[in-house]
Chains A and B, each alone.
Chain A
Amino acid sequence: MTTLPFAAPVVIAAGCGGTGRELAAFDGLAGVGGFVSRSLTLTARSGAPAPRVVAAPSGVLHATGLPNPGPEQFLALELPWLVAHGVVPVASLAAAEPDQWQELVRLVAAAPGLRAIELNLQADGGLMPEGEPRLLAAVVGAARAQLPPGVALLVKLGHDPSRLVTRSRLVVEAGAEAVVLGGGVPALLPDGRPASLVGPAVRSTALRAVAEVHAALPDLPVVAAGGIRTAAEARTFLAAGAAAVQIGSALLADPTTAARVAADLRDGR
């Protein structure tokens, strides 16, 4: 893990760990390599109407609408707590337009203790309009230009294997240090609203995504997410080329999952 700041190859995924305090109540951050915040937007968002987290076969549909308090509260109350508790903090950011991205990155770039930012470029779970490659490159390039050298730039691209290699190459050329293959696959809530499907249901899709990106770009660190619940599953992803794994939806079932996977990996269980 040359360019990744993580202390161990198991990281809390964006939007699944609260502020960190909720996991700490169960010792759920013990031995974890990093913590990705819920996606922060330029101004606070209250999120989508309920229901927005719904059970699906072997998974979860989520359409939260990115509820978050905005960057100021994160910087004032959440980041210092993570740093004080020895957790490697990563800020997940989401915006729609290039100037919003730039302002958001500027606000958090120099925050004391911040080790990386994760751009939530995933079209479905994020706010970006679908697909314009030049826009992706511009957002990533502008972010890299604003970040101090010690802050890594991760870019989250979703799970759709058909376009991940092209997009990964694009964002790396624009200055990203790693890609995060996570965030689920496009789905629909029963009431017709767009959602993302995450959890064990997408694990095999996620594994394919990791293998394809790793084969095409073997020097690029890949952070993998997708329904991982055990150390054995994490090892499968690491063997497929992932540099680290993120634990997300499994925390909803058991807030100690990431700590347990990290301990089991470390101890060879």
Chain B
Amino acid sequence: MAGGPLSTTAEVLAVRGVGAFSGVTLSVGEVADRHRPGQFLSVADPDPTRLLRRSVQVHRAAGPGVRPGTLELVMDPGDVLADRLAVGDAWPVIGPLGRPFALPKEPVTCLLAGAGAHAAPLLGLADRLAERGCTVHLLLGGADGSRVLPSHDVRRAVRSTTVVTDDGSMGRHGSIASVLGETVERTGAAVVYAGAPTSTLHEVAIAAEAAGAWSQAVLDGEHPCGTGLCHGCPVPVVGEDGVGRTVRGCAEGPVFRGDRVRWHDLTEKGGGR
């Protein structure tokens, strides 16, 4: 870790379309240096009568095309936050928050599997894994071609990219979960890193385990405070000791080992989206 979270005021440098998504560039100073892939940013509501914060996943904090001291975000089409943002706005943020993806100690082959905007944290991870000598394969999915996150900024870090869409308009027909097993086998990946809606992450975790790979999943849930105070983002897990417990998604997550999350409890009772 490169230091704990900072509370600061971000400046919106750019808002632009990235396929169907909104890409946002924030100037955040040292927060960017401290950021590790998988960690998130918590933003205060611009309306001061609203106390709860909102968490946003960070796309990239470093690498080709990213200016030092800035963070790139990707938001879903129609996200109210993206609609409110304008270049030059000042935005109170806290970050980086949560635990990042754990990087392998050895230079192993990794598969990064992401659906829609949930794939955002994986692209920053691709750069970091490649720096460590890992062979990186990307598996990107989306409802249609415009909702597959563009990956050209990390093309140098990536050995192969597989694209799947629900409607078959780009790449193959299917979802990241439906082709995960065969992609793990084809690439020989030892580790799967995943970002997707909770139900898809569950399927990915099962498929990865069946194919003999470790998996880490970044949960994109609501974090009402983001700082571990409110206990509003419960995630049911199984601890290292085999005992079930409920932890805070913001503090103990948002990245979890796929075989540690009690997915059925999470999806039935809420706690993610």
- Please determine whether chains A and B interact with each other in the same assembly: yes
Interface residues of A in 46-82 (CB under 8 A from B): 46-47, 49-55, 57-60, 62, 64, 67
Contacts of B245 on A, CB cut-off 8 Å?
46
Report yes or no: A200 in contact with B230, Cβ–Cβ below 8 A. Answer: no
Residue of A nearest to B228 (CB): A22
A250 to B271, CA, bound (A): 22
Smallest Cβ distance from A162 to chain B, in angstroms? Answer: 26
A59 to B224, CA, bound (A): 12
Smallest Cβ distance from B244 to chain A, in angstroms? Answer: 8
Contacts of A256 on B, CB cut-off 8 Å?
7
Contacts of A38 on B, CB cut-off 8 Å?
231
Report yes or no: A253 in contact with B52, Cβ–Cβ below 8 A. Answer: yes
Smallest Cβ distance from B213 to chain A, in angstroms? Answer: 29
Interface residues of B in 245-273 (CB under 8 A from A): 245-246, 251, 269-271
- Interface code B229-251, partner A: CB below 8 Å = 1, 0 otherwise? 11111101000000001100001
B155 proximal to A (CB < 8 A): no
Number of interface residues of A (CB under 8 A): 35
A22 to B52, CA, bound (A): 16
**The residue from A17, A60, A67 contacting B246, defined by CB atoms under 8 A apart:** A67
Choose, from B43-51, B65-73, B182-190, the stretch at the interface.
B43-51
Report yes or no: A47 in contact with B234, Cβ–Cβ below 8 A. Answer: yes
Interface residues of A in 196-230 (CB under 8 A from B): 199-200
A251 proximal to B (CB < 8 A): yes
- On whether A55 and B50 interact (CB within 8 A), knowing A47-B246, A49-B271, A67-B246, the answer reads yes
A22 to B271, CA, bound (A): 21
A16 to B228, CA, bound (A): 9
Q: Which of A50, A52, A67 has the most CB of B within 10 A?
A: A50
Q: Which of A49, A53, A60, A200 has the most CB of B within 10 A?
A: A53
> Chain A's interface: helix, strand, loop or mixed, by majority?
loop
A22 to B94, CA, bound (A): 13
**The residue from B52, B230, B251 contacting A16, defined by CB atoms under 8 A apart:** B230
Number of interface residues of B (CB under 8 A): 31
- Interface code A238-269, partner B: CB below 8 Å = 1, 0 otherwise? 00000000000111111110000000000000
A18 proximal to B (CB < 8 A): yes
A64 to B246, CA, bound (A): 12
Contacts of A51 on B, CB cut-off 8 Å?
222, 232, 270
A200 to B232, CA, bound (A): 19
B107 proximal to A (CB < 8 A): no
Report yes or no: B224 in contact with A252, Cβ–Cβ below 8 A. Answer: yes
Smallest Cβ distance from A69 to chain B, in angstroms? Answer: 9
Q: Which of A51, A62, A250 has the most CB of B within 10 A?
A: A51
Report yes or no: A50 in contact with B225, Cβ–Cβ below 8 A. Answer: no
Residue of A nearest to B223 (CB): A53
B34 proximal to A (CB < 8 A): no
Report yes or no: B231 in contact with A53, Cβ–Cβ below 8 A. Answer: yes
Residue of A nearest to B245 (CB): A46
Smallest Cβ distance from B92 to chain A, in angstroms? Answer: 8
B173 proximal to A (CB < 8 A): no
**The residue from B4, B52, B222, B246 contacting A252, defined by CB atoms under 8 A apart:** B52
Residue of A nearest to B92 (CB): A254
**The residue from A18, A49, A250 contacting B51, defined by CB atoms under 8 A apart:** A250
Contacts of B270 on A, CB cut-off 8 Å?
49-51
Report yes or no: B49 in contact with A200, Cβ–Cβ below 8 A. Answer: yes
Residue of A nearest to B222 (CB): A51
B5 proximal to A (CB < 8 A): yes
A25 proximal to B (CB < 8 A): yes
A149 to B231, CA, bound (A): 33
A-B complex: 5 closest residue pairs judged by Cβ atoms: A53-B232, A46-B246, A50-B271, A49-B269, A252-B225
- Assuming A15-B231, A50-B221, what are 18 further A-B pairs, CB within 8 angstroms? A16-B229, A18-B251, A23-B229, A26-B5, A46-B245, A47-B234, A51-B222, A53-B52, A53-B224, A53-B232, A55-B51, A62-B232, A64-B230, A200-B49, A252-B224, A252-B225, A254-B92, A255-B229
19 residue pairs of the A-B complex, CB under 8 angstroms, read A16-B230, A18-B228, A46-B236, A47-B231, A47-B234, A50-B232, A50-B233, A50-B271, A52-B231, A53-B232, A55-B52, A58-B49, A58-B50, A60-B52, A67-B234, A200-B49, A253-B53, A255-B229, A256-B7
